Structure 1
Amino acid sequence: MKFTVKAWSSSGGGSGGGIARVGVLQLGLGSNGCPTTTIETPSLLLSTRKGLPLFMPPDLLSALPSPDSHLLQLSPLHFLECPSPKTISSMGGVHKMVGLKENYSFVAAPRDSMLCLPVAESSNKIGASFESPCGRRLIKPAEYIEMITSLNPNIWATLADEVPAWVSAKRNRTSVDRTLRWLDECITLDPARGIFSFGAIVGGSNIEERKRCAQEVAKRNVSGYWIGGFGLGETAEERPALLNAVIDVLPEYKPRQICGLGLPEEVLQGVASGVDLFDSTYIYHLTIGGFGLIFPLNSKERDISNSQLSDAGGDLTKINLRATIYRHNTHHYLGFFRTIREAIKVGEFDNFCQRFVEGRREHLAVAAAC
């Protein structure tokens, strides 16, 4: 894996402050020695269920813009019941199991991408507790590494004890201690794969615990960072300070991935702080709810008329798919990330954020008045 930062753009105002950046992430090596996947960041990881994209048959995946759509999110939790690690290994890992070519890359992270469920208070010092289709399961680091080894993803995040924003200070400190201990155990159990690991960072809504966890993880020999514990009750107002507490102590030459930020405004907060990869369930929940994205990606795009949206049950930012024939939320959101990258490259990210957020507020206000 190789990551290089290519451009920066200062970000402030309502976006949270910091330095937004465009990078290039290179993953895998083909038979010719060249990277099999090259992704520009900030980028969206496409959610999958056991390795296959949601709401999209594999034969249509190639219709999405390349290479933006070639980075896929994978949750090892989906394999708690079946198939077994032994079976997956015999197939040759997740790539061979789902039949995707080597120019697609997988990032495995320990959160259920469908339910967006973190580890709950029932975790203990032995392992992490997760909800599964067959009830709550306790996963020890050894079992987790066995799953990672069998899946053979391009990148994997270490186990994390995520907690919601409202837990006690003692529980929050404990979650950081456990996450750091599991990080060391995961890397020790499989040192060969440790070079492809993203160290998990937690800390809830406590700035000092966030900073402490980030400082400790930055000391470890990991390839990047998986920032967890967001989207679990923190407010939009306190989120920038929490993000900056983490990002400010991480080395700039390693990629940063975050889980739990999905709304466009949340993504912009993450980008403004210097996040590179977004593991988001936003388009999954939007699509399963029957809505399609239509918000303009730049100021040159023309809005759909109020009368059309009224008939379609929309609000100037999304439309009701049950009332229309509109499709391709994934395509639209990938376009949103491309627009963000272009704004950073020309040093206009802050202005882009302000225009975008103001436009969204205006659209929602007009829709509410209709």
Structure 2
Amino acid sequence: MEFAVRTWSAGARLGSLQLAAGLQVETPGLLLLTRKGLPAFIPPDLLQNLHPDARACQVTPLHFLESPNATTVAKAGGLHKLVSLTGFGMVAVARDSLMDESNGEGSSKMGASFETSSGRRVVGPAKYMEVVNAFKPDLWVSLPDEVPSWVAEKRNRLSVDRTLQWLDQCLSLQPAEYGNRCLGVVVGSTSLDERIRSAEQTATRNVAGFSLGGFGLGEDAAQRAVQMEAVLTKLPKEKVRHVSGIGLPEEILQAVGAGIDVFDSIYPFMLTKGGYAMTFPLNMENSQRSFDSEPTGEELARSGGDSAKINLRSVAYRLDNAPLVIGCKCYTCRKHTRAYINHLINTHEMLAQTLLEM
């Protein structure tokens, strides 16, 4: 794995992440949310339509504790081969934001407590690395002990100590032939001192990059901004930085502005489940032309949308033959209309979710 920063603008930066088999991921970039190794709604043959905006997936070892388990994945030759997704990078991340909002309870020196599809489980470094090693991922995030913003100072300090201890154990269980693919987790909840201690100690380990954990667990936006800025100044600039637990567009922009390179998000998944499409303009030169032909804010509110998204379940789009976003060149907007997707949703066709998530 190789990472290079091409240019900076204040804290934000553009770069490229070179993964195995010549796969290059442009940063800042999104890791596609997966369930059991594949995106929830987009079939593999359509994933190429997301290029170059998405070239890597976030995969969760928690999904492979039972069926399929690590043995099944290892016998298949790794997760890429098991799910037949060889053209995309895979980053193993412990946290499943859809299933688990960690409250810090249940974790112990034996391992971290997670909510899984088979109930709450305590997963230690040995079990975690058994699954990660079976994956043969392009990158993997070490096992963290994440706690919410309201925990006591003593519990927060313990979470930092445990995360560092588990990082050392995870590194010792990483096969030497895989090379250095670990992203060490930085935790510390809302304590700036503990965040900085975690960052400084993690930076002394032999890791390929860093993952900022413990966000999206009760802190406010102002706290998050201060913590990210303080933490990132303590980390080597030449190594890749990942964040988990945030997802709203404004949160992603805040993170990218601070210097985050790679992120995962459940926001597109949740909008898709609700029948929504994101419609905020990406090309500011065309934004006014697009907005001139759009419904007013009051009309959008009545249909269940706003200036950043539209509700395709609404009867307001039953006869609307416009694309989701006028001028957009994505697969969905080039080939399909709002009226068609409204029809797919109301007749419970799975294609609706596929088109919305794309």
Which residue among 148, 156, 163 is the counterpart of 2:132?
Answer: 148
TM-score by length of 2: 0.84
Alpha-carbon distance between aligned partners in 1 of 2:115 and 2:208, rounded to the nearest angstrom: 28
Tell me the matched-pair count: 316
Shift of 1:305: 2.2
Whichever residue aligns with residue 215 of structure 1, its letter is E
Shift of 1:328: 8.3
TM-score by length of 1: 0.81
Asked which structure has the greater RCO (Cα within 8 Å, sep 6+), the reply is 1
Whether 1:166 and 2:158 are equivalent positions in the alignment is no
Indicate if the aligned counterparts of 1:119 and 1:161 stay in contact, CA closer than 8 A: no
SS of corresponding position for 2:32: strand
Alpha-carbon distance between aligned partners in 1 of 2:207 and 2:25, rounded to the nearest angstrom: 20
Shift of 1:80: 1.8
Q: Structure 2 matches for 1:224-303, cutoff 5 A?
A: 224-300=209-285, 301=287, 302-303=290-291
Whichever residue aligns with residue 63 of structure 1, its letter is N
Indicate if the aligned counterparts of 2:101 and 2:217 stay in contact, CA closer than 8 A: no
Which sections of structure 2, spanning at least 5 residues, go unmatched? 332-358
Indicate if the aligned counterparts of 1:75 and 1:113 stay in contact, CA closer than 8 A: no
Whether 1:305 and 2:290 are equivalent positions in the alignment is no
Shift of 1:160: 0.2
**C-alpha deviations, 1:243-269, integer Å up to 9, x for none?**
012101000000000001211111111
Whichever residue aligns with residue 106 of structure 2, its letter is S
Which sections of structure 1, spanning at least 5 residues, go unmatched? 11-18, 30-34, 336-370
CA 1:129/1:2 → structure 2, altered by over 3 Å: closer, same or farther?
A: same
Across the aligned residues of Structure 1 and Structure 2, the Cα RMSD in angstroms comes to: 2.1
Which residue among 20, 23, 47 is the counterpart of 1:61?
Answer: 47
Q: Structure 2 matches for 1:99-248, cutoff 5 A?
A: 99-101=84-86, 103-118=87-102, 120-192=104-176, 193=178, 195-248=180-233
CA 1:218/1:145 → structure 2, altered by over 3 Å: closer, same or farther?
A: same
Indicate if the aligned counterparts of 2:100 and 2:114 stay in contact, CA closer than 8 A: no
Whichever residue aligns with residue 9 of structure 1, its letter is S
Alpha-carbon distance between aligned partners in 1 of 2:97 and 2:47, rounded to the nearest angstrom: 19
Whichever residue aligns with residue 68 of structure 2, its letter is P
Indicate if the aligned counterparts of 2:100 and 2:115 stay in contact, CA closer than 8 A: no
CA 1:49/1:328 → structure 2, altered by over 3 Å: closer, same or farther?
A: farther
Indicate if the aligned counterparts of 1:112 and 1:118 stay in contact, CA closer than 8 A: no
SS of corresponding position for 1:237: helix
Shift of 1:299: 2.5
**C-alpha deviations, 1:291-342, integer Å up to 9, x for none?**
110111232222222176356431121111212479989xx8x99xxxxxxx
Indicate if the aligned counterparts of 2:32 and 2:58 stay in contact, CA closer than 8 A: yes
- Of all paired residues, the percent bearing the same amino acid is 48
**C-alpha deviations, 1:101-122, integer Å up to 9, x for none?**
2x31100010014224336321
Alpha-carbon distance between aligned partners in 2 of 1:59 and 1:113, rounded to the nearest angstrom: 26
Indicate if the aligned counterparts of 1:160 and 1:200 stay in contact, CA closer than 8 A: yes
Alpha-carbon distance between aligned partners in 2 of 1:54 and 1:328, rounded to the nearest angstrom: 21
Alignment partner, residue 341 of structure 2: none
CA 1:280/1:232 → structure 2, altered by over 3 Å: closer, same or farther?
A: same
